[in-house]
């Protein structure tokens, strides 16, 4: 495995925090596609950059979106096979599977439900304080809680026991994520949505306002912020 210096990782993180995700991707990807000797710290950072590219440039460039998703899935599948005890690799493979489930439609999304949760749970067993993981667990619970009747019937075809969760469980994970990293406005938006579903008007308004205090930088966050605007409008 190639040794990576802390200073190099810091440079990559600085580029990411400056939203220079294409540069991060270009620096980390291997043109030959061989990642077998690449460190887990590089692999999950590559997946992180890919996720952002999918939700920004991939919005208009469908072939690139498909290529990035396939690359992210391939890289992180290899990562969890080689580094099964790395929390970040398990988290980001779960993220890539979640993206695949969205791209492939409702049936595939339901099929992947337990598999996604399996990788998030494994990551949680290793490191329960990673804010991205906590957010992902909250999102998993949130999406399961809002399945409609038809979707639950479809799930019962694939699983003897269809997945279950609640907005209360989702809220618990989102609040944990927020306490680790209060700067992630996406988490604030999800907290607002949970409180809205739980009919807690004042809390929903408070968190929706917080979620709208900064501009969203990718489609997923912008969509969640739109939901927050609806919450504020409904509670006027």
- Cα–Cα dist 176/127, whole Å: 13
Residue 209 lies in a domain: yes
Residue range 148-182, pLDDT digits in tens = 776 777 777 766 677 889 999 999 999 999 999 99
Total number of domains constituting the chain: 2
- Whether residue 99 is found in the same domain as residue 142: no
pLDDT of 120 = 98
- Cα–Cα dist 65/103, whole Å: 10
What's the CATH number where 153 sits? 1.25.40.10
Do 137 and 173 contact (CB within 8 A), yes or no?
yes
pLDDT of 191 = 98
Q: What is the pTM of this model?
A: 0.92
Point out the domain boundary residue: 105, 136, 153: 105
- Whether residue 136 is found in the same domain as residue 221: yes
Residue 114 lies in a domain: no
- Whether residue 72 is found in the same domain as residue 154: no
Q: Quick check: 98 pLDDT over 90?
A: yes
- Whether residue 92 is found in the same domain as residue 132: no
Point out the domain boundary residue: 73, 105, 137: 105
- Whether residue 93 is found in the same domain as residue 151: no
- Whether residue 150 is found in the same domain as residue 219: yes
Residue range 17-55, pLDDT digits in tens = 999 999 999 999 999 989 989 999 999 999 999 999 999
- Cα–Cα dist 66/27, whole Å: 20
Residue 134 lies in a domain: yes
Residue range 173-221, pLDDT digits in tens = 999 999 999 999 999 999 999 999 999 999 999 999 999 999 988 889 9
- Whether residue 83 is found in the same domain as residue 156: no
- Whether residue 137 is found in the same domain as residue 225: yes
As given in the structure block, the two tokens for residue 100 are 């695949």
- Whether residue 57 is found in the same domain as residue 100: yes
Do 95 and 51 contact (CB within 8 A), yes or no?
yes
Residue 200 lies in a domain: yes
pLDDT of 162 = 75
Q: Quick check: 105 pLDDT over 80?
A: no
Mean pLDDT on 53-75: 94
- Whether residue 134 is found in the same domain as residue 227: yes
Indicate the range of 3-17, 45-59, 140-154 predicted with least confidence: 140-154
Residue 22 lies in a domain: yes
- The residue segments making up the domain with residue 206 are 128-235
Residue 231 lies in a domain: yes
Q: Quick check: 103 pLDDT over 90?
A: no
Point out the domain boundary residue: 72, 105, 138: 105
- Whether residue 90 is found in the same domain as residue 158: no
pLDDT of 219 = 87
Indicate the range of 84-88, 99-103, 154-158 predicted with least confidence: 154-158
Residue 204 lies in a domain: yes
Alpha carbon dihedral 163, 166, 172, 173, in 10-degree steps, equals 30
Residue 132 lies in a domain: yes
- Whether residue 228 is found in the same domain as residue 140: yes
pLDDT of 150 = 67
pLDDT of 110 = 78
Distance of CA 7 to the CA centre of its chain: 26
């Amino acid at each position: 495995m190639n040794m990576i210096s802390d200073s190099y990782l810091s440079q990559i993180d600085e580029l990411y925090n400056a939203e220079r995700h294409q540069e991060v991707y270009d620096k980390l990807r291997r043109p030959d596609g061989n990642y077998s000797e690449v460190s887990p710290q590089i692999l999950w950072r590559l997946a992180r950059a890919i996720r952002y590219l999918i939700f920004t440039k991939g919005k208009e460039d469908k072939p690139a979106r498909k290529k990035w998703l396939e690359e992210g899935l391939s890289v992180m599948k290899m990562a969890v096979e080689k580094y099964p005890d790395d929390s970040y690799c398990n988290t980001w493979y779960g993220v890539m599977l979640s993206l695949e489930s969205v791209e492939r439609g409702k049936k595939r999304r339901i099929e992947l439900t337990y598999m996604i949760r399996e990788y998030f749970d494994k990551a949680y067993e290793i490191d329960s304080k990673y804010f991205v993981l906590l957010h992902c667990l909250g999102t998993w619970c949130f999406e399961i809680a809002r399945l409609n009747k038809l979707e639950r019937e479809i799930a019962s075809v694939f699983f003897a026991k269809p997945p279950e969760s609640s907005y209360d469980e989702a809220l618990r994970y989102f609040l944990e994520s927020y306490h680790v990293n209060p700067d992630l406005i996406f988490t604030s938006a999800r907290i607002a949505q949970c409180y809205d579903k739980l009919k807690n008007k004042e809390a929903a308004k408070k968190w929706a306002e917080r979620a709208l205090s900064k501009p969203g930088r990718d489609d997923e966050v912008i969509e969640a912020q739109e939901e927050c605007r609806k919450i504020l409008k409904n509670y006027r």
